[in-house]
Each structure stands twice: as structure tokens, then as C-alpha cells.
Amino acid sequence: MHLKKRVLVTGGAGFLGSHLCERLLAQGCDVICLDNYFTGSKQNVAHLLDDPHFELMRHDVTFPLYVEVDEIYNLACPASPIHYQHDPVATTKTSVHGAINMLGLAKRLRAKIMQASTSEVYGDPSVHPQPESYWGNVNPIGFRSCYDEGKRCAETLFFDYRRQHNLRIKVARIFNTYGPRMHPNDGRVVSNFIIQALRGEPLTVYGQGQQTRSFCYVDDLVEAFLRLMDTPDDFTGPVNTGNPGEFTILELAKLVIEYTGSKSVIDYRPLPQDDPKQRRPDITLAKAKLGWEPKVALPEGLKKTIEYFDAFLRQA
């Protein structure tokens, strides 16, 4: 009999995965961290390597895996446009084959499994804010489709495995998240702005900067994952996890300039294709079922993230 809960985190050396591994270890779990290091980094989990309850494995989820665990968090997938558009076929494979392989593992082990899905399943929404009941407005043949449709297909697979094999599943739809260990070159707006500001470069804003985003600090998001995994088996989600506080991109740019004390100016560029005009989660379900809502306000989270990138750039 294993006294410690054994947990597999795919994409565990990534931004979200590394924070999740930390929290699971703090809760007394045995953690297997799986990553192929396409966007993840050993550096993100280097401080955990001496923990006897932490195991790091180099593996790609598009290939089957045989380990013994009680719970699986399936986070493996490049999640920013720069990375997922680099090899779009591999991105779809990671979402679809990765889901099939991890669901197969969960089926064999009768393990509980959580899918890290995304607000991108809503596409460019015509409903605002987005509730889980909204089916989305997605371009199936665009540059972002490898990610959006791959993640939608993964959700389909999760629910079919539940209906067909009575698997214990959980699906979290993640909205914009930020914090320490974000990939420095992933083209995401928070890391872009902070690095540009710290280097004194112009901040790149697309359009007039009036498109809105909601930003959830990573610690809040990890708390939502843990609470979702602990819900009764009859609650599967999907459940929106994100911060409903809505900011324009221009407001974010001005905050970053203020907190970094930078002399950067703003450089306006044309809007890219399929870039959603607004994104804000409706977290009514998360509040009701998880007793969860974000605690970290944007100013506090930004300051912690700026500290991390400031130290990161000094080492680089």
C-alpha cells in the first residue's frame, strides 16, 4: 500500500507544471514530472531535484507511457502562438495523441485525470464574458487552429473516455496566466512587455491596444487545479479558471512601464489574424463548485513577475 499519493504531471518542467509540482510536493505527494523540454526547462525544476519524492523524466506524451500513479495532470502542450505555430502538426499531435496516451494510462490504472484545456476553445467569442456552456467561435483552418482545435479534440476525447470507460476526468479551461518562470521568448503579452520595459525597448502594442485580456497569477491557477482534482467524481467540468478582472492591453503596457520605472515608449503595430478582441472568464461555476476565486491582484502579481525577469535577464 502506498501511503503517499503518486501524481504524474505532464509538461511538468513548464511554467504552470513547475509551480504545480512544487505545490504537490508541499502537500506530501510523490511527483513524477514528465517533459520533453520543447518549451519546458530543467531550470524550472532544478530546485526540486534533491527532493526524494520528486522524479524527472524526459518523455514526449505523443508516445505511450507506463508508470504507476494515482492521479494525472495533463499539461503537456506548447501554449503560446510562437511555439505552437513553430510545428503545427506536432502541436495537434501533442494535444490529441497526448490525450489518447494519458487517457489510456488512466484507464489502465483507474487513475483520476485532469486536462489542462484553454480559453482558446472559445475562439474569438461572440459572448462576453464566456461561460462554460458557450460552444465557441473557432476558425478550424487558421494559423491558431492547431492549438485551438487540438485542445477542443482533447476535451472530446476526455468526455468520450468518461462515457465509454467511466473514467474519472476533470477539465479546466485556463485563461491568460502569468508569473515567475514564464518562458521569456514565448510572445505572450505580459512577458513581452516586461522584458521590453526592462531592456528600455519600445513596448509592442497591436492595433490601438483596446483589446482586453484577463490575467490570472500562477499561484491562484494552481490552487484551482488542486481544488478541481479534489471535487467529487460526478463533477467533471469543464470549468473556467482565470481572473475575471479585465484590462486593455494598453492599460497593461502602462502598468508595466510604471512598475519597472522604464523610459520605454509604446510602438503600435497592425492586429494579427484571429487575435481575439476580448477575453474574460465567467467563473461562477468555479466559485460554486471549487469555492475558488483569484486572490492576487494584477499590480501585486506583476511586481513579482518583474522581479523574476529582472533577475533572469541579469543572469542571461
DSSP letter (8 states) at residue 122: G
The residues, ordered by sequence, that sit 6+ positions from 182 with a Cβ below 8 Å of its Cβ are 15, 188, 190, 191, 305
Of the residues 122, 147, 178, 217, only one is catalytic, namely 147
Count Cβ atoms below 10 Å from residue 248 Cβ, excluding itself.
Answer: 16
Residue 147 is a catalytic residue: yes
Amino acid at 102: M
| b/e 84-117 (16+ beta carbons within 10 angstroms → b) | beeeeebbbbbbbbbbbbbbebbeebebbbbbbb
Give the Cα separation of 287 and 278 in Å (integer): 22
CA 314 to chain centre: 26
Q: Which cell is 255 given?
A: 502598468
Q: Are 236 and 279 in contact (CB under 8 A)?
A: no
Q: Which cell is 135 given?
A: 460552444
Give the Cα separation of 124 and 274 in Å (integer): 7
Strand-by-strand arrangement of the 6-10 sheet: 54-58, 30-35, 6-10, 71-74, 112-118, 169-174, 239-241
Give the Cα separation of 78 and 94 in Å (integer): 8
User: What distances in angstroms separate CA 96 from CA 46, 75, 157, 281, one per listed residue?
Assistant: 29, 12, 8, 24
The single residue listed with the C-alpha cell 523610459 is 263
Q: Are 132 and 173 in contact (CB under 8 A)?
A: yes
Q: Are 253 and 266 in contact (CB under 8 A)?
A: yes
Catalytic residues, by residue number, are 147
